[in-house]
Amino acid sequence: MKRLLFILLVFVVFQSCAQSIDLNDLKISDRDFKVTYWKKDSAGLDSTITSVINKDSKELKSLTDWLINNSTGWGNSIASFASPNISLTSGNLRFLIFKDFVVIGYSDKNNKSRQLTKKVDIKEFGFLIE
């Protein structure tokens, strides 16, 4: 019985690390995105700056290129995440960008809600900050 549980645990861990993103599910090129930047001032107070990225913008092209180059190596997550450095939202699609990881939440082609995470450096998203 212990062996079966160990094998099941290894399988679950392997599955959570072996996820990839199907760009067709995201439909990024069909969307405009609301972008919010969170910053702390010298007193430690949060402030936000909000803008819109149009579907035909260079930033969205760069985001699509980033996703093509980073479509594998994602893990499933059921956790809730708050206070990202940058968020991009459009309908049921959201990107939460933190200092050292990113979260993508969306509904796949079967209308199943998915939330995936990947360890990355926020500097990879410099194209959103320029």
What's the whole-number mean pLDDT along residues 84-102? Answer: 95
**Residue 99 clears pLDDT 70, i.e. is over it:** yes
Model confidence at 111: pLDDT above 60: yes
Locate 65 and state its tokens.
């290129």
pLDDT score of 109: 85
Token pair of 12 as six digits: 């679950």
pLDDT by residue (tens digit) across 13-57? 444 456 888 888 888 888 999 999 988 777 777 788 999 999 999
Q: What per-residue confidence (pLDDT) applies to 102?
A: 97
Q: Tell me if the pTM is above 0.85.
A: no
**What's the pLDDT score for residue 2?**
56
Q: What is the mean pLDDT of the chain?
A: 85
Residue 57 is part of which domain span? 2-129
CA-to-CA distance for 70 and 121, rounded, in angstroms?
A: 12
The sign of the CA dihedral 61, 64, 69, 75 is positive
Contact 30, 55 (CB under 8 A): yes
Q: How far out from the chain centre does Cα 122 lie?
A: 12
Number of domains in the chain: 1
First to last CA, the chain: 56
Find out whether 83 and 99 touch, Cβ atoms under 8 Å: no
Average pLDDT over residues 56-75: 94
